[in-house]
Structure 1
Amino acid sequence: MEVKTVKFKFEKLRIWKDAMDLGEDIFKISSAFPKEEIYNLTSQIRRASDSIALNISEGSILQSNPEYQRFLGYSIRSIAEVVTCHYKAEKRNYIRSDEFDLLYQRCFDLMNMTIAFRKTLNS
């Protein structure tokens, strides 16, 4: 099978790559949440974390800059949702404080990178 070198433009974005990695890590971490959380916190944090990368990619395809900025805004809001879910998970003792701190920092960094990228679309 021939390997294609054509890429979607979002695949080149660090924010998309970081969002993809964050989503996968959250999926693994949330797998250890109690079974009674499967339709509550586990589902919510997984959907929110996946939404970050999904909105980055969706907004990049055939969108005007204002429309792309809107999708990046959805990603930023999803990051805030993930952080709130992390707080819930820590308060319920589903994650350790050191895990919380690492995930919090990753979300904070991704939010700032996404905001900075969004501002470049004004140019």
Structure 2
Amino acid sequence: MNYFKELKVWQKAIELVTEIYFKTQSFPKEEIYGLASQIRRCAVSIPSNIAEGCGRKTDKDFSNFLGISLGSAFEFETQLIICKNLGYILESDFKFLESEIQHIQNMIIKLQNTIDKK
């Protein structure tokens, strides 16, 4: 079952992961194993959990993994705010990434609600 690749939310999350990897390349060297690593891991977790949920046998399992993905999305948003406050990303980059993650969060919630109503 590879239909996860067709999900718009998965595609948007993959784009976000790519973007955050580029943005964190310019972080201070002391953040390589700190905030840069943490924000990358939670960004990767978003589409990864969507994909893993698609591979499960039941809608309940899929919904559970969407919940995990949503949690990672909120974690990402929190870390993004920290990055902005520390001056690691530009305000314009922050606004773009914040808008993207909030859009992904809404997409996950809508997908989860659709699955839960089945």
TM-score normalised by structure 1 residue count? 0.92
> Shift of the alpha carbon at 1:96?
1.0
For 2:109 and 2:96, how far apart are their aligned partners in 1?
20
How many residue pairs get aligned? The number is: 117
Specify every segment of 5 or more residues in structure 2 that has no aligned partner in the other structure, as ranges: none
Partner of residue 107 from structure 2, selected from 93, 103, 113: 113
Larger helix proportion of the pair: 2
For 2:13 and 2:76, how far apart are their aligned partners in 1?
11
Structure-2 residue corresponding to 1:81? 75
Structure-1 residue corresponding to 2:17? 23
**Structure 2 residue matching 1:78: 3-state secondary structure:** helix
> Shift of the alpha carbon at 1:63?
2.7
Q: Does 1:36 align with 2:30?
A: yes
Structure-2 residue corresponding to 1:72? 66
Runs of 4 or more off by more than 6 Å in structure 1? none
Structure-2 residue corresponding to 1:45? 39
> Shift of the alpha carbon at 1:50?
0.3
Paired amino acid for 1:80: F
RMSD over aligned CA atoms reads 1.0
For 1:62 and 1:83, how far apart are their aligned partners in 2?
27
For 2:56 and 2:19, how far apart are their aligned partners in 1?
29
For 2:57 and 2:37, how far apart are their aligned partners in 1?
29
Specify every segment of 5 or more residues in structure 1 that has no aligned partner in the other structure, as ranges: 1-6
Q: Does 1:62 align with 2:49?
A: no
> Shift of the alpha carbon at 1:36?
0.2
Structure-1 residue corresponding to 2:96? 102
Q: Deviations over 1:61-105 (max 9, x none)?
A: 133111111100011011111111111111110111111111001
> Shift of the alpha carbon at 1:33?
0.5
Q: Percent identity of the aligned residues?
A: 34
TM-score normalised by structure 2 residue count? 0.96
Structure with bigger gyration radius? 1
Paired amino acid for 1:83: E
